[in-house]
Amino acid sequence: MEKMKAVVTYAPNDIRYEEYPKPECGAGEVVLKVKGCGICAGDIKAYHGGIRIWGTSEENRYIEPPCIPGHEFYGEIVETGEGVTDFGIGDTICAEQIVPCGECEFCKNGTYWMCKRSAVFGFKKYANGGFAEYIRIPKTAVKHKIPKSFTQEQSILIEPIACGMHALEQANIKHEDVVVIAGLGAIGLSMCNIANLALPKMVIGIEVKENRIAMAKEFGADVILNPKNQNVTEEILKLTDGLGCDVYIEASGNVNSANQGLELLKNHGRYVQMGVLGDLVTADWNMIGDGKELTIIGSHLSARVYPAVIRGIEKGLIKTDGLISHKFKLAEVHKAYQTAESDPAAIKVMLEP
């Protein structure tokens, strides 16, 4: 069996750079030579364990180790299986982060990102991820061609930007809205950019890290607030005649940010949960009903927006400049994870073979 180099997950806090069987191409599948793969906050959370990924025992865990992490990949097709007609050898493509089953109620009604039997690339052996020299794209994966003009940065950011664009679609932004985006990582910065394409009244970003604050203006935030040295609630009430914001998009994953959102929203405001929270939230639930008549909206993955993201980048409407802060080789995966986690200058960190 042919071998390749890959990063392999064995257990919480145990990933190794080693040899792994090179994937074979079955009917309806394609194999990519990976050109790069971004590190998601979810990859780091999975690395450290966490009950939603690792469960409480081998029977109820989501992850199936040993498997290869990484869902923000792109690459060039080097092999096509029997029956593949819409893509050919030499095409540069990416696949959406979820591999839907193609058969459940959600897949059949077109809401495949909610598939009950899906795998996200990087967590199961049949959907090994992009921290490798080659990746097999299963038949039911949702593939997209990437224009030849795209840079490595643009190609890798399609996935995270798509997640942000879905959250914005969930928020249904209108011209009169004051939109608050809490957490300006790569996705949050990009959401400032894309929110502006709907011409709302104001986009306000909330962030504590200095380099992200410095980038936020360029990405379209009209006002940036830092909760470390400002009273965010007071500032937003000042900016909105004491009413609060119309839309609050939680993109930081910080549990305090959830409460902050309920507090900052105006009566009839819309709260969108996009970030993956690190812990349970305790909140005054009456704020939703008896208080403000709020709408609470979820946002999961990216829902049919990849083509729009690719178009937006191609037209120059969606910016990616500077969102990739660090690039490492696969062999340096431990250093890359550490940088993503603890370097204050990190925005999106990526790996390449």
**Nearer CB in complex with Zn ion: 121/178:** 121
Least distance CB 63 / Zn ion (angstroms)? 15
Least distance CB 351 / Zn ion (angstroms)? 13
- Is 114 a binder of Zn ion (CB under 5 A)? no
Cis before 100 (ω within 30): no
**x/- contact string, 78-97, with Zn ion (CB under 5 A)?**
--------------------
180, β-bridge pairs: 204, 248
Residue 121 CA to residue 339 CA, distance in Å, equals 22
Stretch that binds Zn ion, among 28-36, 100-108, 172-180, 194-202 (CB under 5 A): 100-108
- Is 101 a binder of Zn ion (CB under 5 A)? yes
Q: Is 308 helix (H, G, I), strand (E, B) or coil?
A: helix
- Candidates 104, 114, 197, 277; binder of Zn ion (CB under 5 A) is 104
**Nearer CB in complex with Zn ion: 128/260:** 128
**Nearer CB in complex with Zn ion: 115/178:** 115
Torsion of CA 195, 198, 202, 208, to 10 degrees: 0
Stretch that binds Zn ion, among 101-109, 257-265, 319-327, 330-338 (CB under 5 A): 101-109
Residue 234 CA to residue 236 CA, distance in Å, equals 6
- Is 115 a binder of Zn ion (CB under 5 A)? yes
Stretch that binds Zn ion, among 51-59, 102-110, 172-180, 245-253 (CB under 5 A): 102-110
Q: Are 348 and 186 in contact (CB under 8 A)?
A: yes
- Is 100 a binder of Zn ion (CB under 5 A)? yes
Residue 179 CA to residue 152 CA, distance in Å, equals 30
**Nearer CB in complex with Zn ion: 93/349:** 349
Least distance CB 301 / Zn ion (angstroms)? 9
Q: Is 303 helix (H, G, I), strand (E, B) or coil?
A: coil
Stretch that binds Zn ion, among 108-116, 127-135, 175-183, 239-247 (CB under 5 A): 108-116
CB proximity list for 241: less than 8 A, separation 6 or greater: none
- Is 249 a binder of Zn ion (CB under 5 A)? no
- Is 129 a binder of Zn ion (CB under 5 A)? no
Q: Where are the beta strands (DSSP E) in the chain?
A: 3-11, 14-21, 30-38, 72-80, 92-95, 98-99, 119-120, 134-137, 143-145, 178-182, 202-206, 223-225, 245-250, 265-273, 295-298, 324-329, 348-352
**Binding positions for Zn ion, rule: CB under 5 A:** 40, 100-101, 104, 107, 115
